[in-house]
Amino acid sequence: MYIAIAGNIGSGKTTLTEMLTERYGAKAYLENIDNPYLGDFYEDMRRWSFHLQTRFLASRIEQTMAMLADKSQHMIIQDRTIYEDAHIFAGNLHEMGLMSSRDIETYMQIFQLVTNLVQKPDLLIYLKASVPTLVRQIHKRGRDYEMNIDEAYLERLNKKYNQWIGELYGGPVLVVDKDTEDFVEDPAVFERICAELDKLDVQKRLF
């Protein structure tokens, strides 16, 4: 069973991945943020945005193909998906004028070729959170490189996420509203998520 967790920066994807991995003895596939273009990108975003996002896409393709080829696991859980790389982050860079139309078209052509060859998650868990909630969680975890993230940037990403989930994705989605449903502080929320996974597992075994 292939479970993917999606959400904005600071929404709690890795925390939920770890909790579900422990609960189900699943194998986790975490986001790889190692990218040799990252430093260049922050120096000149317009010049290096295509290189940065293409490298992230290549890493995500490699991870997704290896993950889906692994038949030894009953459940696999992916922290952030290949769809977010394209529809959220690359798309946002284009809208901000930091990736040219020619580059985004080339990028999306590669993305479409790959996603036609891989299955969608059996369930996508979308951690939806308002900007104040994201900022509070970002400050709580205290990563230095995240301390100065612009709130307007987080809001732009939220809009992209909501558009993607509402209009583009087209697969099974479980929405967890992090403003009111804290699966760390409230065990009942975590149990509700697990109940959905248990139900899905039964359905897959029957059919």
Domains of the chain: 2-206 (3.40.50.300)
Among 63-67, 103-107, 137-141, the range scoring the smallest mean pLDDT is: 137-141
Residue 145 — pLDDT band, cuts 50, 70, 90? low
Q: What is the pLDDT of residue 98?
A: 95
Name the DSSP letter for residue 128.
Answer: E
**pLDDT at residue 93 above 80?**
yes
Of 4, 14, 3, 6, give the one whose Cα is nearest residue 146.
14
Quote the mean pLDDT of the chain. 91
Just list the catalytic residues.
Answer: 85
Residue 207 — pLDDT band, cuts 50, 70, 90? low
Q: What is the pLDDT of residue 68?
A: 85
- Using a 10 angstrom Cβ sphere, with 0-12 exposed, 13-18 middle and 19 or more buried, the burial of residue 132 is exposed
27-29 β-sheet, strand order:
27-29, 76-79, 2-7, 123-128, 173-177
DSSP assignment of 49-114 equals: HHHHHHHHHHHHHHHHHHHHH--S-S-EEEES-HHHIIIIIIHHHHHTTSS-HHHHHHHHHHHHHH
- Using a 10 angstrom Cβ sphere, with 0-12 exposed, 13-18 middle and 19 or more buried, the burial of residue 119 is exposed
Q: What is the pLDDT of residue 8?
A: 95
Q: What is the pLDDT of residue 75?
A: 92
72-100 average pLDDT score: 93
137-148 average pLDDT score: 73
pTM across the whole model: 0.91
Q: What is the pLDDT of residue 46?
A: 93
In the block, residue with structure tokens 């790889």? 32
- Give the number of C-alpha atoms closer than 13 A to the C-alpha of residue 132, restricted to the C-beta side: 2
**pLDDT at residue 206 above 60?**
no
Residue 119 — pLDDT band, cuts 50, 70, 90? confident
CA diameter of the chain: 53
Contact 91, 161 (CB under 8 A): no
The more confidently predicted of residues 201 and 107 is 107
Residue 142 — pLDDT band, cuts 50, 70, 90? low
Q: What is the pLDDT of residue 32?
A: 80
**pLDDT at residue 146 above 80?**
no
Q: What is the pLDDT of residue 141?
A: 75
